[in-house]
């Protein structure tokens, strides 16, 4: 695991813990922060898919004949999954977590101001965004793109699972169970996602 990946792993797990201890983040707010991290990852995944010169490790650069068909397929696959996932997950939050009913927010700006800014939920996704920017600027031509967006889909699937399981455990056993399932999921996902493809061998 690279130094960048190690730092991101530590930040992704320490920042939520500090949020709970110092700022009183609830399970709902932790999951909302995690959703924002996923949005940041999806954003940079799309840009890396669009601008990288290689698709897999040890592969030559795209030939002009195959460049755009593969890129368009990758792009629409990720966009399609995200277009379904993010709105449905956001709606599901409002259904299963009654502590902060989303219906009371008139528009996204109210949610942003009253929850994300007021509770300082922006630190974990901001860290992920900065690390993603670094990967895009300096590492995009050395990443295995198939593994990159497969990891994004794994993260999306796991977030849906933990949302349901975390909600059930929180209702039945209290908020602590929600915290436990959240951190277990977060650590597992980080180890999956941060197993970044090794650099492509170059001459």
Residue 59 in any domain: the answer is: no
In this predicted structure, the answer to whether residue 63 has a pLDDT above a threshold of 60 is: no
Question: pLDDT tens digits for 75-107?
Answer: 777 777 777 776 776 666 666 655 555 556 666
Residue 87 in any domain: the answer is: yes
Question: pLDDT tens digits for 107-135?
Answer: 667 767 777 787 788 888 888 888 888 87
In this predicted structure, the answer to whether residue 31 has a pLDDT above a threshold of 70 is: yes
Residue 201 in any domain: the answer is: no
In this predicted structure, the answer to whether residue 43 has a pLDDT above a threshold of 80 is: yes
Q: How would residue 197 be classed by pLDDT, with cut points 50, 70 and 90?
A: very low
Note down the domain range covering 33. 3-53+65-193
If you average pLDDT over every residue of the chain, what do you get? Answer: 68
Residue 8 in any domain: the answer is: yes
Residues 14, 19: Cα–Cα separation, whole Å? 9
Does the reported pTM lie above 0.85?
no
Residue 58 in any domain: the answer is: no
Residue 79 in any domain: the answer is: yes
Residue 60, judged by CB atoms within 10 A of its CB (0-12, 13-18, 19+), counts as exposed
Residues 86, 38: Cα–Cα separation, whole Å? 9
Q: Which of 129-133, 135-139, 169-173 has the highest mean pLDDT?
A: 129-133
Residue 199 in any domain: the answer is: no
**Confidence (pLDDT) at 116:** 78
Distances (CA, A) of 12 to 26, 38, 140, 191: 16, 12, 21, 11
Number of other CB atoms surrounding residue 164 within 10 Å: 11
- The residue assigned the tokens 């939520």 is 16
pLDDT-above-70 percentage for the chain: 45
Q: Which residues does 153 contact at the CB level (< 8 Å), separation at least 6?
A: 81
Q: What is the DSSP string of 136-162?
A: HHHTGGGS-HHHHHHHHHHHHHHHHHH
Residue 143 in any domain: the answer is: yes
Structurally, how many domains does the chain consist of? 1
């Amino acid at each position: 695991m690279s130094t960048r990946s190690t730092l991101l792993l530590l930040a992704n797990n320490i920042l939520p813990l500090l949020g709970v201890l110092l700022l009183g983040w609830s399970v709902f707010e932790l999951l909302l922060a995690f959703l924002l991290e996923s949005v940041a990852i999806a954003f940079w995944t799309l840009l890396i898919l669009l601008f990288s010169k290689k698709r897999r490790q040890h592969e030559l650069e795209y030939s002009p004949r195959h460049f755009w068909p593969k890129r368009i397929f990758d792009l629409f696959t990720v966009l399609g999954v995200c277009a379904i996932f993010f709105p449905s997950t956001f709606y599901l939050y409002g259904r299963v977590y009654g502590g902060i009913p989303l219906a009371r927010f008139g528009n996204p700006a109210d949610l942003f101001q009253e929850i994300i800014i007021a509770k300082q939920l922006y630190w974990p996704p901001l860290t992920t965004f900065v690390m993603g920017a670094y990967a895009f600027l300096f590492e995009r031509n050395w990443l295995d793109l198939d593994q990159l967006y497969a990891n994004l889909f794994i993260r999306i699937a796991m977030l849906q699972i933990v949302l349901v399981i975390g909600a059930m455990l929180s209702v039945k056993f209290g908020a602590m169970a929600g915290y436990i399932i959240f951190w277990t999921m977060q650590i597992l996902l980080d180890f999956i996602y941060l197993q970044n493809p090794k650099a492509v061998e170059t001459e």
